[in-house]
Every structure is written in structure tokens, then in C-alpha cells.
Amino acid sequence: MGMKKLHRSQTDKMIAGICGGLGELFGVDATAIRLGLVFVVAVLVLLYRSPVGILPVVLAYGVGWIIIPVAPAEAERREAGAMKRLVRSRTDRKIAGICGGLGEMLSVDPTLIRLAVVFIGLVTAILPILLAYLVGWAIIPMAPPQEEEHKRSVLPGGGGGFEGDRR
């Protein structure tokens, strides 16, 4: 098996396909990478104490647009099926279901993600993580109802009882 290479995605792109390509490379939904990028921009703006903090990210993204090749179509089809999608959880939510969705995607307890969010928020003066969370709330789709219903009925202790018992 050959080495995975970074390509710009043709199918999962919002601007140039760089976040989509990174998602395919690492097997992560591009939405999570986009949220990380929003967080980095917010931290840089806070560090520079000016909107000038966005310039390093814009320059790096522009250079990536120029030097990262576009993915061949067949490579994208292979990678698309193996990736878990980031969706907001309908069942494991405290505010918007983002941490529950991240936990499901990463196979990690959402409580650990919530603790990390609080810690990162305290370390970065709340604003970057708050901005990333609000953007995530706006751009991460809600999990389809049938997907979570299926998970509850398959997981031990999730469904309980007969189908006819539900009211």
C-alpha cells in the first residue's frame, strides 16, 4: 500500500478544497478541520489584538491553494466511504450537540471533549472557543433521526423493551 498524499478535494470543498483534502488525508470530516481553522484564526486575532491576526492563515491557505494538487476523482471515491461524518448529536447534547457529535466521530467520551472545551476556553480567554462553537452550531448538520434511533436500538441498554412499548 502506497503512502497517502495530500490533495485538494474536488467534492468536499468550500473555497479551494484544502480542508476537504486534509480531512481525507487524516480520515476526519472536513467540518472539524474548518472549525479548527476558525479557532486558530480567533486565537491569532486575540494574540495580535487586531484583525491582522487573520493574515498568516490567509497567506498559508493561499500558498496551499497554489502548491497542493487537486485530487484525482478515483482517489476521492475510495476515501469518501471510509470517513466518519461530523454531525451534531440529537441525544448526547448539553447545548447544541457539538461535543456529543465530536465524541461519536472520534469514538471518545463526549464528557472528555466537554472538559477539553472548557479548559481551552479558559486558556484562550473564552473568545476563540466561543466563536468556533457558534460557527460549529451554524455549519455542522444535525444527525438524521433514523441514524441515532438505530444506534440506540443496537447499543446495550439503549432501546430496552419491545418495539410496541414505545409511546
Cα(16)–Cα(86) distance, integer angstroms: 20
Phi-psi region of 27 (alpha: psi -120 to 50; beta: other; left: phi over 0): left
Residue 83 is predicted with a pLDDT of: 67
Residue 167 is predicted with a pLDDT of: 40
Residue 74 is predicted with a pLDDT of: 65
Same domain, yes or no: 66 and 108: no
Q: What is the mean pLDDT of each run of 10 residues along the chain (167 residues)?
A: 78 86 85 86 83 86 90 63 78 88 86 88 84 87 71 50 44
Amino acid at 71: A
Cα(133)–Cα(77) distance, integer angstroms: 30
| The domain boundary residue, chosen from 29, 53, 83 | 83
95 in any annotated domain:
yes
> What's the domain count of the chain?
2
| The domain boundary residue, chosen from 83, 112, 133 | 83
